[in-house]
Structure 1
């Protein structure tokens, strides 16, 4: 096989998870897991990747199932806890839940990790990403339920824990080493 063909095969192999994700997303949006939904999702994925010339997403090629499971379990727990906390804050008329806008500088300089961390932080009730400084790797969040500087710092550490979980689940070995170095 010529070097050009090897390079092309390697590029297709690296992009395959993204392509599969587009097909799965299509099927989830239609709520059907049929051959027809798969084929139309395949067509949609081809159109999206060819019409919108997006830069290639460089994935690490590493997935740690244990840390992926840890992430999912922690995420579901955070969703439940966040929903209950916000519900209590809304239903208790005696207390005004304090709010703040906080900056969270991330450790890893990677667009995919930054995006996953931002989406995760936004999906948990009580916080919302309002801005991202990609060049400096800083997420700006609006958070509800803060009353002190300790609450702000706890929220900041929570976002950094999500970044660690994501890196441990899908980050490269260099990113895992960097995140562990930053913790110690």
Structure 2
């Protein structure tokens, strides 16, 4: 799969020259409490994450399924988490019948740190190497996504000046200029947040 942008029309689907900030929260006006949303700097929802019950005819049965939706509610990615600490992401809303975009496997899990490897479908003929790496602490909402040695995206809690404790309820996801689709980065970050489970 090429890492280029998709032809979708949601904000962030183009090739930008400057870093883009998205603000994640489970408390956003007009959205049910507990639904994770990603908004732009003006407070407009760009992406939304919904929990979705997995289909019983999908084997092996995922432990958890989430849908990444655009601002209009159109499904972009279906994220499936399995019992063995791996994830698969498909295009659109499906039960594994559509195009596999990438798979993720956990390579390190400690009390404070998680590392994940991302393998795009069709990029390599074997399991040698990975396409992206994610490292950080899901509890602190701190994640760095790398392509080789290049930083692709980074997240952090929203600290204010002279603030000792920052709420984990709101965080910033900065996506650096490049050719990786912003929706794909958000899907990876959603996977990272559940990486400690």
Pairwise same-fold verdict (TM > 0.5)? no
Higher helix fraction: Structure 1 or Structure 2?
Answer: 1
TM-score, normalised by the number of residues in structure 1: 0.22
Greater RCO structure (CA 8 Å; 6+ sep): 1
Bigger Rg, which one: 1
TM-score, normalised by the number of residues in structure 2: 0.21
